Chain A
Amino acid sequence: AQTVTQSQPEMSVQEAETVTLSCTYDTSESDYYLFWYKQPPSRQMILVIRQEAYKQQNATENRFSVNFQKAAKSFSLKISDSQLGDAAMYFCAYRRDHDGGSQGNLIFGKGTKLSVKP
């Protein structure tokens, strides 16, 4: 079974600085998808960024980027120029490349709580 591990329960960053959140996963599959979701205090789950395992190029969305190391099964999230609004819980998630049917659900890590200091 696939597992997702986030080893940093809490992180802190100064406003305007850069922070990296770690995520590792375990799978025997070669094709899959990885996601980072943000959950602010409002409880809403917001997709931040996603990565296809077959793509070598790291995904980027504005101030958010990932460092995807397929061989190491590592998928870290880098937040540049941190803003107060980035303070939230961040979840790493894995999704297998299913052939349709019933295996499309996400497997989540336990989350990293990010604080941003002004």
Chain B
Amino acid sequence: NAGVTQTPKFQVLKTGQSMTLQCAQDMNHNSMYWYRQDPGMGLRLIYYSASEGTTDKGEVPNGYNVSRLNKREFSLRLESAAPSQTSVYFCASSRRDGYNSPLHFGNGTRLTVT
């Protein structure tokens, strides 16, 4: 099983450039999430989607937009990249009806903004 697939794995951008991080899951999960991981900060929630058609801001949403394209796919867009957005980005998914269902993570995207 593929689980959660993120693309690309690595990306280098120049300040001001835009890009979209793609995420897809094949576990029929309702909820999907985008986190960023910075050294010494743990993982912080950027945006989440409780179900198809809904999205909500997390802890650090500024500078990002998301699209829940369908039940499988949840993309994260940087409209004008800044060096502060250099980070490792993780997509995750979980069942909605299982309250204790853990999050399943993709393998991450390492983004560098110069």
User: Which residues from chain A sit less than 8 Å from chain B, CB to CB?
Assistant: 4, 9, 33, 35, 42-45, 47, 50, 52, 91, 95, 97-98, 100-102, 104-111
Contacts and interface: CB of A to CB of B under 8 A. Distances in A.
A102 B56 contact: yes
17 contacts: A33-B99, A43-B110, A44-B107, A45-B90, A45-B92, A45-B103, A45-B105, A45-B108, A52-B100, A100-B50, A102-B54, A104-B50, A104-B96, A105-B48, A106-B33, A108-B43, A110-B42
A110 B96 contact: no
B40 interface: yes
A101 B96 CA distance: 8
B41 interface: yes
Contacts of A33: 99-100
Contact of B103 (A43, A52, A106, A110): A106
Nearest to A9: B40
Contacts of B31: 104
Given A43-B107, A43-B108, 7 more contacts: A35-B102, A42-B107, A52-B100, A97-B100, A102-B54, A105-B33, A106-B43
Interface of B: 31, 33, 40-45, 48, 50, 54, 56, 58, 88, 90, 92, 94, 96-97, 99-100, 102-103, 105, 107-108, 110
A63 B99 CA distance: 25
A100 B42 contact: no
